Amino acid sequence: MSDRPRVVVTGLGLVTPVGLDVESTWSALLTGESGAAPITQFDASEYPVRFACEVKGFDPESYMERKEARRADRFLQFAMATAAQATAQAGLEQAMESIEPERVGVIVGSGIGGLSTLEDQHAKLLGKGPGRVSPFFIPMFIGDMAAGMISMRYGAQGPNYATVSACASSAHAVGAALRAIRVGEADVMIAGGTEATVTPLCMAGFASMKALSERNESPETASRPFDATRDGFVLGEGSAMLILETLDHALGRGAPIIAELAGFGQSADAYHMTAPSPGGAGAQIAMRGAMRDGGLTADEIDYVNAHGTSTPANDATETAALKAVLGDRAANVRVSSTKSMTGHTLGAAGALEAAICALVCNRGSVPPTINYKTPDPECDLDYTVAGKVDTEVRAALTNSFGFGGHNVCLAVRRWDGE
């Protein structure tokens, strides 16, 4: 691996259910704030699940012209916001004047894309006929438009596409961006994910399959990863974007270095549409792959941001996989599920949690898992349940597992200046 370029994170952007930027999100995570509340985007009074982790107070016109914002689905608005935040932190816009545009690429994952646009336009088709369907429907709906629009905004002419692998979508995007840099296709990549699926159809679908928590009387305590009383995940929305570049490129332009993206592992369960494989066999392959790719041993892993969805099957299976991969070290590794606060942002989750790992390594604080009250004998690791912990983190793993059996693990290493 010595001949491969090292890849570092030089910018982050976040729009989440607990904050509209990196600092507000980070502060909320460390203090254990829940983003769950009754749904406001539509009338959910007749639904079996009436709450979600919505992004609150977001103004797309802070990042886009009014006309452009009106022609953009919410998932795209989120993506443009986080790309703007990340490029600003990295100083990328100014740097673009001296970077060959074909050396800058964009990969953005989304599990579903512009679902609210699809629902709205389908209603118009049924109610008013085909002539009333918007000419902007298709470009507003398709999931690759986030990557496309970001490339247009910043003049990035390098690798450009979307990744779609359900809840692993943006983890795949970050991993693919890492590889694009390593093989020499780009010097800089804007990578991340975005999702905006707190919609009538999505809520109805997930509720129908009994995947969601039904604690309508207490939304803020509904997401309880690894707790014995967990009964499903809480749907979230948001976006996360990372600026990745070679270490030499970052040092050469004096960019801030937040952390190193060290490894990427991926696999398939090849088992079931929605259930994880027994013992987390596929998850184990992904985690071992990320550690091998990053040249990391179990003894170097100090933190794991778990997939930790708060579903009965996932949390026990992920725990088993962590113990299998980390061995005796597992008992001494801090684990937390920030989905206990953000909810499950689906296709955006992988990038969001990779960004959190970069902050953990950079700032030396581990966010907690909230709402853990009742121990589960099958979930017996240290889930950081007593509040945030200030501790040195040399390296972290983040897991993302999607319906269809898609597994991704990303490894992040602390940057010590050498």
The string of DSSP letters for 233-246 reads: B-BB-EEEEEEEEE
Going by pLDDT thresholds of 50, 70 and 90, the confidence category of residue 238 is: very high
pLDDT for res 57: 97
pLDDT, position 263: 98
Helix pair angle (200-208, 115-128), 10° resolution: 110
Choosing from 53, 167, 357, 361, the catalytic residue is: 167
Instruction: Measure the CA–CA gap between 137 and 363, rounded to whole angstroms.
Output: 42
Q: Which are the contacts of 335, defined by CB distance < 8 A and separation ≥ 6?
A: 303, 304, 306, 308, 322, 369, 381, 382, 383, 384
Q: Encoding tokens for residue 214?
A: 């039904």
Mean pLDDT over 191-202 rounds to: 98
Query: Taking 80 as the threshold, does the pLDDT of residue 340 lie above it?
Result: yes
Instruction: Determine the Cα angle at 15 with ends 291 and 303, to 5°.
Output: 25
Beta strand extents in 312-363 (DSSP E only): 334-336
Enter the tokens of residue 376: 């589960």
Which structure tokens are listed for 379? 């979930």
Q: Which of 53, 172, 202, 344 is catalytic?
A: 344
- Ordered domains of the chain (ranges, CATH): 7-252 (3.40.47.10), 264-413 (3.40.47.10)
Residue 131 in tokens: 């002539």
What is the pLDDT averaged over residues 90-109?
A: 95
Indicate the DSSP class of residue 78.
H
Give the CB-side neighbour count of residue 206, counting CA atoms within 13 A: 24
- DSSP letter, residue 344: B
Mean pLDDT along residues 60-81: 97
**pLDDT tens-place string over residues 103-140:** 999 999 999 999 999 999 999 999 999 999 999 999 99
| pLDDT single digits (tens) 263-317 | 999 999 999 988 888 889 999 999 999 999 999 999 999 999 999 999 999 999 9
Given 172, 249, 307, 406, which residue is catalytic? Answer: 307
Structure tokens at 179: 């590889």
The yes-or-no answer on residue 344 being catalytic is yes
| Mean pLDDT for the chain overall | 96
Checking phi first, is residue 303 left (phi over 0); if not, alpha (psi -120 to 50) or beta?
beta
pLDDT of residue 2: 59
17, two tokens: 């259910």
The Cα–Cα gap between 212 and 44 comes to 14
Q: What is the pTM of this model?
A: 0.97
> Sign of the C-alpha dihedral, residues 271, 379, 194, 184?
negative
Task: Give the separation between CA 144 and CA 163, rounded to whole angstroms.
Answer: 8
Q: Is the Cβ–Cβ distance between 242 and 108 less than 8 Å?
A: no
pLDDT band at 22 (very low <50, low <70, confident <90, very high): very high
Contact 12/85 with Cβ under 8 angstroms?
yes
144 Cβ contact partners less than 8 Å away, ≥ 6 residues apart: 161, 162
Is residue 244 a contact partner of residue 105, using CB atoms and an 8 Å limit?
A: no
Is the pLDDT at 413 greater than 80? The verdict is yes
Percent above pLDDT 70 for the chain: 100
pLDDT tops 70 at residue 1:
no
Is-catalytic flag, 167? Answer: yes
- Given this model, what pLDDT does residue 3 score? 82
pLDDT (mean) for 160-178: 98
| Separation CA 24–CA 80 (nearest Å) | 18
Per residue in 368-390, pLDDT (tens digit) is 999 999 999 999 999 999 999 99
pLDDT at residue number 277: 87
| Alpha helices for 155-246 (secondary structure H) | 169-182, 200-208
Q: Residue range 37-44: average pLDDT?
A: 98
For residue 117, the Cα-to-chain-centroid distance in whole angstroms is: 22
Question: How far is 223 from 202, CA to CA, in rounded Å?
Answer: 18
Residue count (the chain): 418
pLDDT of res. 417: 81
Amino acid at 55: V
Measured CA to CA, the distance from residue 289 to residue 343 in angstroms comes to 27
Strands 104-109 and 188-195: parallel
Q: End-to-end distance of the chain based on CA atoms, in angstroms?
A: 16
Is 307 among the residues known to form the active site?
yes
